Amino acid sequence: MSTRFRWTGIVTLVVLASLASGCTLGGAAAGGVIGNEATNHSAAGTIGGAVVGGAVGYELGK
């Protein structure tokens, strides 16, 4: 998979997650995918991304 295609998918996912800002689960899912891709598929990156994405989704949903 090319790097450009991967980053396009990540940006699309972030934009879609932002539109569903009231959803903590959506933020966690988006963060997990972004963390997974950004850290070359490491488990720690996936979990960290999910935690941060969930926190962002929670704060935006307030």
Mean pLDDT by 10 residues, the chain (62 residues): 70 68 74 88 87 84 74
11 occurs within a structural domain: no
61 occurs within a structural domain: yes
Structure confidence at residue 23 (pLDDT): 67
pTM of the model as a whole: 0.63
47 occurs within a structural domain: yes
10 occurs within a structural domain: no
Structure confidence at residue 13 (pLDDT): 73
d(CA 18, CA 28): 12
Q: How many domains does the chain have?
A: 1
Q: Domain range holding 37?
A: 25-62
40 occurs within a structural domain: yes
CB atoms within 10 A of CB 19: 10
49 occurs within a structural domain: yes
Q: What share of the chain is helix, strand, coil (3-state, %, to 5)?
A: 80, 0, 20
2 occurs within a structural domain: no
4 occurs within a structural domain: no
